Structure 1
């Protein structure tokens, strides 16, 4: 898994959130990360997919929070295609819980990716979120598998969520009759990830579409092209970014924050 900023930068900032992806939106910086349920579910999920950064404790498919804390979050970082791993050994004991991330970034919005399709993970995440203040909970959005997201959406009314099923329903219905100005129910109070190769088919893309999504409480991000299979990749190259309209003002989902920021500055 790529990171938006090098681990060294996170270490120098003494941040507890050391493995994630920072996204750009027109309104705010949004931190997004994969959520992984620990066996004991202490302080919420762990915001990292451990299989991408190291090895799980032997014999444990769902390690405890303390077990995850023993992992080296710098283990899998490489900037040269795997020839070197400069931060191995630097991140032992630094994997944060979701509660620690929210505490470390009190003024940020969050987009949580629930990695599994287990509805129990959606229910447990809902329990954690419902214990937050309404103001803090309003700063969280989530997307992932159909089953956990369905459970989460039911248990946390008003939470912006997205699953493959809800996104498909939103975009296909909007393409079919968005010209009437009617908004599909699936597009309301949700996260809308728009593949850049699908965007031209959306009525009023980009400004009218973005305004319509905002009017029904939804947040839209453009993502990389979709060619079937799992979710699209991020907008991680200049070639993909060049497909955005001039003066695009919506969200951009990317793993390459510095590249995107430089590209945006060059267009001003």
Structure 2
């Protein structure tokens, strides 16, 4: 079995650590690994450094220059370069455990899933605010709705390429700078009857940079996530039904504000309520026609 791992990168030195962790994987018998690095910089200045890191880690590398500054371009370049039965995605600042890929493949075989998500564990530095680490706001795991996982994320996922090609799925270039391109991609997968599973042992670690260690950044990210969900609702509901969705999201936002007020003495719990409320505010804003944020 041939498996590709796509890593989209933009001027990030830590990609060498990502490649080193991929070189240390314990592969199941009969599995051949190839790593696709899609460089999203304007010029391929990082090519030599990436090739050296891959060679040092003993990796079969496909380097692709995919300019510029649009993550959807880089993700689509990985889709185009993939030749294996499966394509996994990792972020260029993540590292994985030795059993990461084996766990994803085992769950894909067990459930026959079109995609399998793994958890991403946030790593906070010593200077991170105490409430932030206590609330663990940056770790990622899938959320079920009605017994199904309806959306995914590209930070730790294995995708069956037949499911992508048969549906003509691509990452939306319009979302390549504002964020939410992976939410949108996996919504379209599940809206077309695709199924997503979860492999809890397929663990990836991701450090949290100082620029993202604030409530302001969390609120913006959550608001934008809500806008992406609102865009999906907008395509499914019209007239009074859309107004009803605005009412539902507004009511949920009100509950979150009440929860934040009740948790005023606990920074972590208060912030969780506010972040959740920001998501519902994003849904309302998108359904009301507000332009989506450009997060990156």
Bin for the TM-score computed over the shorter chain: under 0.3
TM-score between both structures, scaled by the size of structure 2: 0.26
Q: Give the structure with the higher percent helix.
A: 2
TM-score between both structures, scaled by the size of structure 1: 0.27
Q: Mark the structure with the bigger radius of gyration.
A: 2
